[in-house]
């Protein structure tokens, strides 16, 4: 997939999406990926918000993301994109969707963990106002890699909203989101 503008459709994740999601999980995380059961359980979790991203022209599932919303805080559990669609702003579209959903639901703060070696993801999160506030030592089971703990400030503060709107306009120039 090249980086020309294309249309991404983001829908609530459905059970019928999980087989395709597991393929992306395996490509992204090798043998240390979530199981089908984990995703089925998340779909019945009242705190969870999970989304599937599709290439609208082909209908192919190309990414997914999830978060838990607990009172005024959300925790992003995962964002993964099919390797054929990386660098096409699919991950950014999914992150944007999660932040927008948090805004719609009155969530004030968003947190996540990310591998210290995952520079593209860290750069994306920083672009959206996340800051590193610590490290979880040996967080990742497959290689004992550390994770950065990243948080936003209150997403209803003007500083965050201005940044979010700026990124929204830039994103419109790279991908159409349905």
Euclidean distance between CA atoms 3 and 174, whole angstroms: 8
Query: Which tokens in the block code for residue 12?
Result: 């609530």
The kind and range of the H/E element at 19 are: helix 18-29
Q: Count how many domains the chain has.
A: 1
pLDDT tens, residue by residue, 119-152: 999 999 999 999 999 998 988 877 788 999 999 9
Is 125 part of the annotated catalytic residue set?
Answer: yes
| Residue 78 domain flag | yes
Euclidean distance between CA atoms 115 and 136, whole angstroms: 10
Euclidean distance between CA atoms 128 and 130, whole angstroms: 6
Among 50, 51, 125, 128, the active-site one is 125
Euclidean distance between CA atoms 133 and 111, whole angstroms: 10
pLDDT tens, residue by residue, 53-104: 999 999 999 999 999 999 999 999 999 999 999 989 999 999 999 999 999 9
* Residue 3 pLDDT exceeds 60: no
* Residue 44 pLDDT exceeds 50: yes
Burial of 37 (0-12, 13-18, 19+ CB in 10 A): exposed
Euclidean distance between CA atoms 92 and 124, whole angstroms: 7
Least reliable range by pLDDT among 28-32, 55-59, 104-108: 28-32
Is 25 part of the annotated catalytic residue set?
Answer: no
Q: What's the CATH code of the domain at 145?
A: 3.40.630.30
| Residue 127 domain flag | yes
Domain extent, residue 31, equals 6-177
Euclidean distance between CA atoms 61 and 137, whole angstroms: 33
pLDDT of residue 134: 92
| Residue 1 domain flag | no
| Residue 152 domain flag | yes
Nearest-10 crossing angle of helices 18-29, 36-43: 130
pLDDT of residue 173: 81
pLDDT of residue 34: 87
Spatial neighbors of 69 by CB under 8 A, at least 6 apart, are 47, 49, 102, 105, 107
Spatial neighbors of 17 by CB under 8 A, at least 6 apart, are 52, 61, 64
| Residue 151 domain flag | yes
- Closest listed residue to residue 88, CA positions, set 128, 124, 117: 124
Name the percent of the chain in helix, strand, coil, to the closest 5. Answer: 35, 30, 35
| Residue 121 domain flag | yes
Among 113, 126, 140, 145, the active-site one is 113
């Amino acid at each position: 997939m090249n980086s020309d503008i294309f249309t991404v459709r983001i829908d609530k994740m459905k059970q019928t999406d999980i087989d395709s999601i597991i393929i992306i999980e395996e490509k992204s995380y090798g043998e240390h990926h979530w199981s089908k059961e984990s995703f089925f359980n998340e779909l019945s979790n009242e705190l969870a918000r999970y989304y599937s991203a599709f290439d609208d022209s082909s209908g192919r599932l190309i990414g997914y993301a999830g978060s838990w919303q607990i009172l005024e805080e959300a925790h992003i559990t995962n964002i993964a994109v099919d390797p054929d669609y990386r660098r096409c702003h699919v991950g950014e579209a999914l992150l944007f969707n999660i932040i927008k959903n948090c805004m719609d639901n009155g969530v004030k703060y968003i947190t996540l963990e990310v591998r210290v070696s995952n520079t593209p993801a860290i750069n994306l999160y920083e672009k959206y106002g996340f800051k590193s506030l610590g490290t979880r030592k040996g967080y990742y089971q497959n290689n004992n890699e550390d994770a950065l703990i990243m948080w936003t400030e209150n997403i209803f503060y003007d500083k965050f909203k201005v940044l979010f709107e700026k990124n929204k306009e830039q994103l419109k120039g790279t991908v159409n989101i349905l």
